[in-house]
Amino acid sequence: MQFHPKSCRNEREVESKLIVQYLLPKLGYSPDNWYQEVIYGNIRLDFLTIASKKIKNLSSCVVIEAKHPQENLDHHVRRLGHYLMKTKSFYGVLTNGKEFRIYQREKDKLKFIFYCQGENIANNIDKINSLIGKESLSAKFSTSQPLSVPQVSQPSIKEFKKLPMKVIAIYHHKGGVGKTTVATNLAAAFSNQGKRVLLIDIDAQANTTFATGLIKFQFDDDDDLKDKNVFHLLESKVNSISDIVRKSQGFNKKEIDVIPSHIMLIDKQNELARYASSRSRLVKKLELVKQEYDLVIIDTPPSLDLYAESALTASDYIIVPSDLKPFSNQGLLSVKNFLEGPINDNRDTLGKPPVKIMGVLPSKISTHHQFLKHRFPQQRQVISDRYNFPVMENMISERVALSQCINQTIPVGELEIPAPKSIFDYADSVSSANTSAAEFESLAIEVLEKIGA
């Protein structure tokens, strides 16, 4: 049997026609030597091959990830590297039918070792066999110790080491740079990876509250958030997170715990500002739930006000979304001064280390090829050279799908009720959203690597 890329119209056909029907048999793998949709720890692998069951770990296994023919494989390299790290495998394959790539893990780095176009896979099958064929890998890694094959089932929680809860603020002085988009979809990505996530909206615009489906009311009398929102966490010692927290509504398959915001924050700031304890109250409330969550994401206002101060004082890390344009860049110096001044002073008083800037996250970035090739690298370099900020490796592109997913509605009688979706849920029904979903999944992996989770 030969393989023809044009026969693959979707991801399922890449899996069945290229991998199952052609590649695995050509590489010497029988049905007993490969597994599909394997759950390993808190990750799901498309395919895992087993070269020899007489090995002491997964070294001789190959992780194979199949993508839609229209998918850009570059968006999935970091995720493949994450999978190889988790499984301790040395070889991984990325393919969308049109392209075929093999990567090798060397300690904590990923090395690109083979590439060909889909139509040339048959011509290169001997080379591919020498790298990841069953006999080749079995000879390299075989020992006398049997392999415990991963099962297609969820592992016990005992397999995971519990790490301290981490608090990450999404912050920039410049508005319109995608803070809410980053906060909500990053929270969804973490939740989808099995993390226990709390999402806090501390911006009076309440965009995150809306995006997670908590603003369903049409009239003030039906407003069920005015008496229980983030203000009530900051105003007194009495209210706890468990008193205020809500579940997101229809936002993500794995719904997320959300502390909602409200427009009342605008009027209430002067009231809170009279008490110095308001600035540290969120820190103390989060301390009480540190066993209940792995990650806390805070969507902050684009300001230097009390709400921003409360959020940043409570945060271990800061991600700064930016479109990398001049007005956004000019705000970076005041961001740094704010962190190094009142924020770190507050944290020092509370016995906490300085907040860490994880990096500037390129956000709402044009997908135009010439821009990405020439202008975008220059913009990234300016952030590190002129402003001395680290830059995240990932980026979030400006795509219609990111606005469409938040603006979904459902008809209820004569009304259109907001029914926002995470980019992941939206991508399940709209294939054009797959690239944005992949970007957020890759970003989540980068963040977890940076915080050691």
Residue 453: per-residue pLDDT: 63
Answer yes or no: do 320 and 240 share one domain: yes
**Region of poorest pLDDT, from 58-72, 210-224, 285-299:** 210-224
- Whether 159 has a pLDDT exceeding 50, the answer reads no
Answer yes or no: do 202 and 186 share one domain: yes
Tell me: the pLDDT tens digits for 299-349? 999 999 999 999 999 999 999 999 999 999 989 999 999 999 999 999 999
DSSP designation for 418: E
Residue 161: per-residue pLDDT: 43
Tell me: the pLDDT tens digits for 61-81? 899 999 989 888 988 898 899
Largest separation between any pair of C-alpha atoms in the chain? 77
Higher pLDDT, 273 or 14: 14
CATH code where residue 328 lies? 3.40.50.300
Among 141, 157, 173, the domain boundary falls at 157
Instruction: Specify the pTM.
Output: 0.72
Q: What is the Cα–Cα distance from 303 to 301, expressed in whole angstroms?
A: 5
* Per-chain mean pLDDT for the chain: 87
The pLDDT > 70 percentage for the chain reads 91
DSSP class per residue in 297-350: EEE--SSSSHHHHHHHHT-SEEEEEE---HHHHHTHHHHHHHIIIIIHHHHHHT
Residue 272: per-residue pLDDT: 85
Q: What is the mean pLDDT of residues 95-124?
A: 92
Answer yes or no: do 113 and 176 share one domain: no
Answer yes or no: do 178 and 208 share one domain: yes
Tally of structural domains, the chain: 2
Answer yes or no: do 105 and 176 share one domain: no
Residue 56: per-residue pLDDT: 52
Q: How confident is the model at residue 260 (pLDDT cuts 50, 70, 90)?
A: very high
Answer yes or no: do 47 and 68 share one domain: yes
Q: How confident is the model at residue 219 (pLDDT cuts 50, 70, 90)?
A: low
Residue 42: per-residue pLDDT: 66
Among 157, 179, 208, the domain boundary falls at 157
Q: How confident is the model at residue 153 (pLDDT cuts 50, 70, 90)?
A: very low
Q: How confident is the model at residue 418 (pLDDT cuts 50, 70, 90)?
A: confident
291: tokens are: 């066993």
Answer yes or no: do 370 and 409 share one domain: yes
Answer yes or no: do 174 and 87 share one domain: no
Answer yes or no: do 365 and 313 share one domain: yes
Higher pLDDT, 39 or 251: 251
Tell me: the pLDDT tens digits for 18-29? 998 899 999 999
- Whether 150 has a pLDDT exceeding 60, the answer reads no
Residue 315: per-residue pLDDT: 97
Residue 57: per-residue pLDDT: 59
Answer yes or no: do 358 and 444 share one domain: yes
Residue 152: per-residue pLDDT: 39
Residue 75: per-residue pLDDT: 83
Answer yes or no: do 149 and 193 share one domain: no
Residue 12: per-residue pLDDT: 82
Among 136, 157, 178, the domain boundary falls at 157
CATH code where residue 89 lies? 3.90.1570.30
Q: Which residue has the tokens 């502390």?
A: 259
Q: How confident is the model at residue 50 (pLDDT cuts 50, 70, 90)?
A: confident
Q: What is the mean pLDDT of residues 205-210?
A: 94
Q: How confident is the model at residue 429 (pLDDT cuts 50, 70, 90)?
A: confident
Tell me: the pLDDT tens digits for 356-394? 999 999 999 999 989 998 999 999 999 999 999 999 989
Residue 160: per-residue pLDDT: 34
What domain range includes position 202?
A: 161-451
Answer yes or no: do 443 and 319 share one domain: yes
